[in-house]
Structure 1
Amino acid sequence: MKSIAAALVFFTRLPFWRLKAFNVRPDYFKQVINYWAVVGWLTSVIMVGVLWSAAHILPYSIAIVLAILSRLLITGALHEDGLADFFDGFGGGNTKERTLEIMKDSHIGTYGVISLIFYFLLFYLLFDNMNLHLACLAILAGDPLCKFIASQITLFLPYARTAETSKSKTVYNKMSIGTAIISCIFGLLPLVLLWKFHFWLAILFPIFVFILLIFLMRKKIQGYTGDCCGATFLLCELSFYLGIIILLRIFNL
């Protein structure tokens, strides 16, 4: 439970730290990525709550924007910052050292700006092509699922920096069997909400993206960073929703 508390404190900007139960030792933060999918339950429920409520009052397009904004506020745009740094580093760095240097720079570059523009544009358009009911179910399933998939990065790659040079000063621990089971349950269980089993095929899309990113990171920096984790989650999630749209068209659902 302490590790889950640390994950909620680390991955959100909600004032959990004010509660005594969430005052955990620093070593618990080495486990936060292993419980990332648990945090996905919270962020997805809040995002869906905003989307569902707003859509009954405002035009659906505005509701989508408010839902996206709600998650940005909850997480402090932590993952989006990672996405921008990832594209800046991998787009502008020619060596491992230069790539890591660019990713650590607090200034956003051209690649980062372009990545965010296209990410939010595609994110919006994907949900604009779903009805409200399907969009809510897709978020409830996709958020924790893709955080679970992205959390597997520690099993395939070493950390590319040292704890001292890390932005968060934390190097994640690899999953034990127990944490892997918990993460798997929280990551995969929401898939049952997608009432048509055809949609379950959408999981192949983020798995494919994850594999491609692993190969890219291994080639470019021989490891991963916190920014890589955030970018992996967002790109996997985007591909999951894209997969749902493709399956909608293929099976005429």
Structure 2
Amino acid sequence: MNESPVIDENPPPRSWLGDAHLAAVFLTRLPLPDAGMGDLARAMRAFPLVGLGLGLGAAAIAWAAGGILPPVPAALLAVLALVLATGALHEDGLADLADGLGARGGREKRLEVMRDSRTGAFGVLALVFTVGLRASALAAIPSGWSQCAALVAACALSRALIPAAMQVMGPARPDGLGAGAGSPDATIAATAAGLGLLACLAGLGLSGTLAALLAALAAGGAVIWMARRALGGYTGDVLGAVQQATEIAILLAAAGVLS
């Protein structure tokens, strides 16, 4: 999540459909019509809706592949579908943050490393683990409805928590995503979180949702703590890492509940 969209200082009011369109253009690489300039901070309320759509698409891949392939290759194809649909947006953020945290030096040095387009050893290892953990967790879940529920819950709730992460941290630097998009207010963050929890409840039930939420808060909280300590706040890369960490945690929790 590195790129800084150009935001109109006085955007026209957007409907939920308009916010969902802008959120989908920002979060995915799907061939969508240009959303134009708008209030991305407000559109973040639709992040879990975009996640729900991504989860359903990945679930369809997992369902189809599960009928002809063993669980692990089928799960890897579902994860690949998510990577392709998002253009590895969040994975790139996770890799950059891993490289930054692994760099020797102070805050400015870490931020400089994170701006570098090259991926170092820490970034490569982070990518290996995010793909491996998600695929292995998904493979442990029975194919069919259970995998669909887990993917929808993980994709929706992990993106729903991005605005919440921006509530508890300030931008680490004056340019980049924070300066360009602005910070969503508490109402937007609460709306997004509520929609993400509803998606979880629909698929995982109350006990599964509680396990997924606790796991997501622990994983996301760990990333937030490290980012505040090492960088002084969030960047687009930090938010991408929050999404990846919480998605992994939710899938692992779902594997524990559904398997």
Q: Which residue of 2 aligns with 1:225?
A: 235
User: Are 2:127 and 1:116 equivalent residues in the alignment?
Assistant: yes
Local SS of the residue matching 2:181: coil
Give 1:231 shift.
0.6
Give the Cα–Cα distance (whole angstroms) in 2 for the partners of residues 118 and 181 of structure 1.
30
Q: Which residue of 1 aligns with 2:113?
A: 102
Give the Cα–Cα distance (whole angstroms) in 2 for the partners of residues 174 and 180 of structure 1.
6
Local SS of the residue matching 1:13: coil
Deviates further, 138-147 or 187-196: 187-196
**TM-score (norm: length of structure 2):** 0.85
Residues 149-228 of structure 1 correspond to what in structure 2 (within 5 A)?
A: 149-163=161-175, 166=176, 170-177=180-187, 179-194=188-203, 196-202=205-211, 203-228=213-238
Give the Cα–Cα distance (whole angstroms) in 2 for the partners of residues 98 and 54 of structure 1.
44
Is the Cα contact below 8 Å between 2:39 and 2:181 reproduced in 1? Answer: no
Identity of aligned residues (%): 29
Give the Cα–Cα distance (whole angstroms) in 2 for the partners of residues 87 and 195 of structure 1.
31
What is the RMSD computed on CA atoms of the aligned residues? 2.1
Residue 106 of structure 2 aligns with an amino acid whose one-letter code is: T
Q: What do the CA deviations read for 1:223-251 (whole angstroms, capped 9, x no partner)? A: 10001001111111111122233445xxx
User: Are 2:159 and 1:143 equivalent residues in the alignment?
Assistant: no
User: Are 2:71 and 1:55 equivalent residues in the alignment?
Assistant: no
> How many positions carry a matched residue from both structures?
241
Note the residue ranges of structure 2 that are not aligned, 5 or more in a row.
1-14
Q: What do the CA deviations read for 1:188-227 (whole angstroms, capped 9, x no partner)? A: 1112233553312321011112222222111111110001
Give 1:30 shift.
4.1
Q: 1:236 aligns with which of 238, 246, 253?
A: 246
Local SS of the residue matching 2:111: helix
Local SS of the residue matching 2:180: coil
Give 1:55 shift.
1.4
Change (3 A) 1:195 1:105: closer
Give the Cα–Cα distance (whole angstroms) in 2 for the partners of residues 156 and 192 of structure 1.
25
Is the Cα contact below 8 Å between 2:104 and 2:110 reproduced in 1? Answer: yes
Residue 228 of structure 1 aligns with an amino acid whose one-letter code is: V
Give the Cα–Cα distance (whole angstroms) in 2 for the partners of residues 122 and 181 of structure 1.
28
Residues 238-253 of structure 1 correspond to what in structure 2 (within 5 A)?
A: 238-247=248-257
Give the Cα–Cα distance (whole angstroms) in 1 for the partners of residues 162 and 39 of structure 2.
19
Is the Cα contact below 8 Å between 2:197 and 2:209 reproduced in 1? Answer: no
Q: Which residue of 1 aligns with 2:29?
A: 13
**TM-score (norm: length of structure 1):** 0.87
